[in-house]
Amino acid sequence: MHKPLSIAVLLTVALVGCQSEETQSNTGLTAQAKADAVVAQKRQLAESFSQNYAAYAHTLKTQISADNLSISVSELVESAPNTEMSQQLRSADKNVRTLKGIDQFTEQLLQLRLADASMLKEWQEGQSPLFAFEPSGNDDSWQYIEAYDVYGQIHQLDVYQLPDVPVFVVDNDSAVELKAGLQAMRAEMQRLGQSPQLSTQESSSIEASTRSLSRSASADTAPISTTVLKKIRLQDDKEPWISGRAEIYALVTGVDPSRDKPTIDLIDMPYLDYDKQDYFPNQVVIHWTRYRWGAADMILMEQDDGTDYKELAKQLVKVAEEVLKLIPDPEVQGYAIIAQITGKIIEAIPDGVLVNDDDFVDVFYTLMQDTQYTDHPGANGNATATFEPLTIYPTK
């Protein structure tokens, strides 16, 4: 069992040992090898936490509560900064951030998370926890979840049935990862000649969009035409218990109005945590000056553990540009081209760069400018959303 682990750890060290970005991008590691190396890091930490639980029990019990089920690795390091375990935690966090292509965009990533609030009472009353980690590969192929007890013994847990004992998960902070990952994707797309917008919940609120327009307004500043996501609901967020809350984001795809290039914008949706629940974000998701023919598609994605964000950005740009290169005159087909771009992106999602890759959740095809969609189902029937047109005027 430990032999594959050692190989994966060596792969991690080989990658992180290359200092420059150029060197790191040419290590030759496949997406699967990178994902395996990430899992190896987490496996090592799960085993180390099980062996050092007594040293961290007090810190965990003072920090973990019903309102806060997780603690960052950086906080654990602060509690005992000079120990060998803290050195291991620092190294693992750095390695994982590098493997995922987000090291430049966040200074910490890993956390220790109680798998479910229902486990809190028994753990606080003294029941010893298990320490688990997400397996490698697509979660559809997982046979069990491995977890270490405080004696170093491995237990095999059901993938979908929540355990009846307390379990701590060595995990990425999914909100931190997605925020940094989208920043990494935008930077890589810009390097490849794209000009993507990254819309966060804060920057894409109606109020923020109005303030931004007003700051740059002159006497002849034109209003901007947008589409706002008023309501959204997911039927299935596709997550096993060990994965915790879903982290959903969107890709808005279309064609640049001024050149024969794809437009791909990134939408962070941090509020969309759970399925079978209505959310009312009031979030601007499409700026129509960026899309030819007043048409765009929106792909909903679920961030998972195996994503290399730089490689994902490269793949998205590559497949979108390849579609347009095959069409001599885009105006002949018009906005029908957009579905071809979106289709190729969806096909590319499980190929090559993603392992337990970002799950394709659903897609809204052919959203049109100045059009309202009420309780509009996605093509897969997994998401339902209400979109409204909104013209934003600069304030006087």
* Domains of the chain, residue spans: 2-172, 176-392
Tokens representing residue 340 in the block: 């071809």
Percent of the chain with pLDDT over 90: 66
Structural element, H or E, at residue 264: strand 262-269
pLDDT score for 238 = 57
pLDDT score for 396 = 59
Decide: helix, strand or coil at residue 172. strand
Block residue for tokens 């809204």: 364
Q: Which of 227, 229, 268 is nearest to 368 (CA)?
A: 227
Residue-averaged pLDDT of the chain = 86
pLDDT score for 25 = 44
pLDDT at 352 over 70: no
- 36-59 mean pLDDT: 95
pLDDT at 16 over 60: no
pLDDT score for 354 = 52
Q: Which of 41, 8, 235, 213 is nearest to 133 (CA)?
A: 41
Range of lowest pLDDT (83-87, 162-166, 342-346, 353-357): 353-357
pLDDT score for 237 = 55
pLDDT score for 139 = 78
pLDDT score for 360 = 84
Residue 174 CA to its chain's centroid (Å): 7
Tokens representing residue 21 in the block: 């970005």
pLDDT band at residue 245, thresholds of 50, 70 and 90? confident
- C-alpha pair distances (Å), 303 with each of 48, 52, 173, 250: 27, 31, 11, 10
pLDDT score for 353 = 52
Alpha-carbon distance 184 to 199, whole Å? Answer: 14
pLDDT band at residue 206, thresholds of 50, 70 and 90? low
pLDDT band at residue 4, thresholds of 50, 70 and 90? very low
pLDDT band at residue 21, thresholds of 50, 70 and 90? very low
